[in-house]
């Protein structure tokens, strides 16, 4: 798919990461989990003992951290100072802290510009050789890539979302706070519960992953007609 950008937003537990990776794989696109940029920024602050209440200090860390993203949908990775931290950024500690970076109004614009640069690079010469990128997050359809060829907001029932994440082996109460608590905090700076004009809503409450993937791919083919 030449030069296509697929943007998928939505809260945690809707299946957007799994669906986005599979869509990218099938269409030969780069896969960009923009949420990983907030997570690795959080990890960088934790490693350096940055006080999250000092917004300028957090922004300074975000602006100077050494991060490399591998956007292969088959094996996406995040490197911090050359170290593969793909597993570390998925820990409960990071999950319960990441909103402190995501809601930091000095740090957030820095990460947003980083995300735009990554998408632009993938379209020009990246891993996918200019064929495009499937990016997922919370504000991709409205702020990062509002001109994307396909824009989708994935939603699902709250209890279904918590159950999906708890099913991955984590403590259910911790998962509830990580999922619903983060939604509550992040909603102060970004809207990701209702689709903006031109954005397709895909409710995955009763859908299988395969059905959701096919729905997004169908929209991609329609966009290329």
**Half-sphere exposure of residue 98, counting CA atoms within 13 Å on the CB side?**
26
CB 172 within 8 A of CB 89: no
| Residue 73 among known ligand-binding residues | no
| Residue 91 among known ligand-binding residues | no
**In whole angstroms, how large is the CA radius of gyration of the chain?**
17
Distance separating alpha carbons of residues 41 and 63, to the nearest angstrom: 9
Distance separating alpha carbons of residues 133 and 1, to the nearest angstrom: 10
| Residue 28 among known ligand-binding residues | no
| Residue 47 among known ligand-binding residues | no
Nearest-10 crossing angle of helices 55-64, 35-48: 110
| Residue 34 among known ligand-binding residues | no
| Residue 60 among known ligand-binding residues | no
| Residue 37 among known ligand-binding residues | no
| Residue 13 among known ligand-binding residues | yes
Burial label for 6, CB within 10 Å (0-12, 13-18, 19+), is: buried
| Residue 10 among known ligand-binding residues | yes
Instruction: Tell me how far the alpha carbon of residue 49 is from its chain's centroid.
Output: 25
Phi-psi region of 108 (alpha: psi -120 to 50; beta: other; left: phi over 0): alpha
Annotated binding site for ATP: which residue ranges? 10-18
Annotated binding site: which residue ranges? 10-18
């Amino acid at each position: 798919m030449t030069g296509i950008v697929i943007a998928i937003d939505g809260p945690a537990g809707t299946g957007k990461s799994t669906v986005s990776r599979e869509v990218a794989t099938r269409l030969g696109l780069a896969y960009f989990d923009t949420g990983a940029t907030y997570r690795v920024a959080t990890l960088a602050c934790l490693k350096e003992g940055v006080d999250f209440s000092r917004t300028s200090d957090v922004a300074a860390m975000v602006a100077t951290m050494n991060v490399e993203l591998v956007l292969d949908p088959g094996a996406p990775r995040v490197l911090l100072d050359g170290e593969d931290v793909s597993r570390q950024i998925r820990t409960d500690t990071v999950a319960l802290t990441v909103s402190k970076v995501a809601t930091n109004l000095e740090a957030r614009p820095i990460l947003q510009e980083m995300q735009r640069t990554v998408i632009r690079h993938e379209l020009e010469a990246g891993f996918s050789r200019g064929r495009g990128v499937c990016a997922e997050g919370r504000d991709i359809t409205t702020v990062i890539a509002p001109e994307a060829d396909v824009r989708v907001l994935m939603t699902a029932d709250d209890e279904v979302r918590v159950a999906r994440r708890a099913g991955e082996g984590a403590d259910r109460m911790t998962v509830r706070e990580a999922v619903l608590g983060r939604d509550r905090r992040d909603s102060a700076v970004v809207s990701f519960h209702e689709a903006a004009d031109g954005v397709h809503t895909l409710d995955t409450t009763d859908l299988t992953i395969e059905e959701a993937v096919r729905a997004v791919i169908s929209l991609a083919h329609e966009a290329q007609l």
